[in-house]
Structure 1
């Protein structure tokens, strides 16, 4: 699982009347349409975990963070999803010196994606042919883009890895691009050295995930109440 797009910084309008807002955790909960946003968050995170399982079963290479998760899994007695959860909580500890505050969506991200990954791995098996494995990989990457757009569009807080990226960029003054690249190269190299799988899927994910999220995001951002309406009177 990898960071997708900036989650807490203001973004340009992506569709008429729709844009990502910069909100504190409290403001996220007061911004309106909470039942719809909670449902979208849950669906997005579950599909995200399912899409990760599809890429794993494709066995043609993982995204950088999942290369790391897979590498760690080979050295501990945990399932893939359990490693995702543990690493997520450890990444949250790195938020403390960055003075980042997790939102409800951040905490849900840590737990639900790992659970969904293991649940999906339990019901799908790796196909035998290369064509079928390629189809599973491509389907997983596309679904991952949609799922990422869904949970980002719910505007209930960034994932732990997203927040680490944006927090480090803010504290160091470096660009999001540089921080993201540095983080992903680091976890990719460490994961590979630990035994994680690098391959065509790694390249496909790196090239495709940004455009896919950008494609789906205009249709998934939930319009929020005006900032003045989201604060207590």
Structure 2
């Protein structure tokens, strides 16, 4: 990662928060279809039910646990963006859900719901890829598949699908709510993220470091 000046860091932060906003928009659409929750939510729902705590506290507890695990096995994966994602994701998702609540996606036919669901998976994948491409950090539960794929030399999409399916199965056994959308999301999001990620990484790198190509010209003029 190149050393950033203030202008370049500002550009990355803009893309970072845009990524968070896009992800939560996709999640809000996903929830609005009312045909399932995302795999991680199913897991936190089940754990919260088993322990007799609220889903919000369960989510915070699991996220914190993942953070500790990551610090043990791959400390370099944690940076300021991880903290920003943890702090900002909640307010963003609450805002997006309140906006989509009045659209009543759950009142549409199943075919339309499925179209919205696929759209939400694409949106989530774009937002996540944008977030990852800034190299500022992602939420702890999303770092886990990157660490596993790196350590075991496996494709990210394979690890992501395996982890999402595990979340769904364990969450369901613990009492989490699973719908057809949950299964589709678990199988679709990983491959979509792998498709968008390299393209967005190249785009953001070009935009953020676009001023670097001017430096040699400036040096020639001063010489």
Tell me whether the two structures share a fold, i.e. TM-score over 0.5: yes
Deviations 1:171-196 (A, max 9, x none): 5x463567545533332222112332
Instruction: Quote how far apart the aligned CAs of 1:154 are.
Output: 1.3
* Aligned residue in 2 for 1:142: 122
1:110 equivalenced with 2:86 (yes/no): yes
The whole-number CA distance in structure 2 between the counterparts of 1:97 and 1:189 is 26
The whole-number CA distance in structure 1 between the counterparts of 2:21 and 2:58 is 16
Q: Say if 2:12 and 2:134, in contact at 8 Å, map to a contact too.
A: yes
Choose from 95, 103, 107 the match for 1:119: 95
Cα gap change, 1:83/1:115 in structure 2, threshold over 3 Å: closer, same or farther? farther
The whole-number CA distance in structure 2 between the counterparts of 1:136 and 1:84 is 25
Cα gap change, 1:169/1:32 in structure 2, threshold over 3 Å: closer, same or farther? farther
Gaps of 5+ in 2: 213-223
The whole-number CA distance in structure 2 between the counterparts of 1:105 and 1:87 is 18
1:77 equivalenced with 2:59 (yes/no): no
Instruction: Quote how far apart the aligned CAs of 1:211 are.
Output: 4.0
* Aligned residue in 2 for 1:90: 65
Cα gap change, 1:69/1:95 in structure 2, threshold over 3 Å: closer, same or farther? same
Gaps of 5+ in 1: 1-22, 227-233
Deviations 1:145-172 (A, max 9, x none): 221121112121243123223334555x
* Aligned residue in 2 for 1:51: 26
Instruction: Quote how far apart the aligned CAs of 1:29 are.
Output: 5.4
SS at match of 1:33: helix
Choose from 179, 185, 195 the match for 1:199: 179
The whole-number CA distance in structure 2 between the counterparts of 1:195 and 1:59 is 17
Cα gap change, 1:121/1:191 in structure 2, threshold over 3 Å: closer, same or farther? same
Q: Say if 2:31 and 2:37, in contact at 8 Å, map to a contact too.
A: yes
The whole-number CA distance in structure 1 between the counterparts of 2:185 and 2:64 is 24
Q: Which has the larger radius of gyration?
A: 2
Q: Say if 1:100 and 1:167, in contact at 8 Å, map to a contact too.
A: no
Instruction: Quote how far apart the aligned CAs of 1:54 are.
Output: 1.7
Q: Provide the aligned length of Structure 1 versus Structure 2.
A: 199
SS at match of 1:59: coil
* Aligned residue in 1 for 2:35: 60
Q: Which has the higher helix share?
A: 2
The whole-number CA distance in structure 1 between the counterparts of 2:170 and 2:83 is 25
Question: TM-score if structure 1 supplies the norm length?
Answer: 0.69
